[in-house]
Amino acid sequence: MTVTNLKPNMEHWQERVDLAAAFRWTVRLDMHEAVANHFSLAINEDGTRFLMNPNQMHFTRIRASDLIEVDANDPATLEGPDAPDPTAWGLHGGLHRHCRHARCAMHVHSIHATVLASLADSRLPPIDQNCATFYNRHVVDEGYGGLAFEDEGERCARLLSDPKHKVLIMGNHGVMVIGDTVADTFNRLYYFERAAETYIRALQTGRPLRVLSDAVAEKTARELEDYPDQAERHMAELKAILDSEGSDYAC
């Protein structure tokens, strides 16, 4: 039984439901980190107003109605009773102010993406189809400067100014993934973690890597970008599973 219509008077309800589902599945994939990390979704044209998770609320408990609305241009946001985490404000506020194309943003310290971010060379080579998805579509931050308070958040946001780059490998930190919708972004986050795992496990063998040619990697990336409705179907299936279990994510 679906419960996605329990709050018909709350604005951006379907977007809230999708975002809550993404939080719940991030936990199931063990890609969360205690009560840290944050997702956001722009709700106005220039992206400066956005939904995000409440300060230090565990992803397992987040419901659609729990999400807070943040104004990236209003520093007083940090003074309210529902103020976001300061690093969430710094990282996501900076991103939504400077990258209008980043409608949705998901930041995690997932294991394999963070291992990749900890290597001296944090680029992801196209050694399989999942890795090729991110060929020429990720950028590496080489200048980690501590917790992502406002100055650090602004610096990171500038690295995603090229709309082609959908993933920021945050050296010594984690990963930031952006997209057009919650479904698009979560699907990309899922596949990036899978790709990073494949690469890390391949390195662990100590054997030479079979790296795709530039031409084949780019062709594969384009084909996957154009693959019809995969992200939407992925999210729909995840919500269907949650609904069948009687989850309260959509409350």
pTM of the shown model: 0.94
Instruction: Output the pLDDT for position 1.
Output: 32
CATH code for 13-244?
Answer: 3.40.225.10
- Report phi then psi at 61, rounded to 5: -100, -10
Instruction: Output the pLDDT for position 175.
Output: 97
Token digits for 162? 């090229």
Instruction: Output the pLDDT for position 77.
Output: 80
Instruction: Output the pLDDT for position 4.
Output: 45
Instruction: Output the pLDDT for position 2.
Output: 39
Instruction: Output the pLDDT for position 8.
Output: 53
CA distance 100 to 105: 11
The string of DSSP codes covering the chain is ---TTS-TTSTTHHHHHHHHHHHHHHHHTT--BTTB-EEEEE-STTS-EEEEPPTT--GGG--GGG-EEEETT-GGGGGSTTPPPHHHIIIIIHHHHH-TT--EEEEE--HHHHHHHTSSS------SHHHHTTTTSEEEE----SS--HHHHHHHHHTT-STT--EEEETTTEEEEEESSHHHHHHHHHHHHHHHHHHHHHHHHTSPP-PPPHHHHHHHHHHHHTSTTHHHHHHHHHHHHHHHTT--TT-
Q: In this predicted model, what pLDDT tens digit does every residue of 68-84 receive, in sequence order?
A: 999 988 888 878 777 78
Return the domain boundaries, the chain. Answer: 13-244
Low-confidence ranges of the chain (pLDDT < 70): 1-9, 148
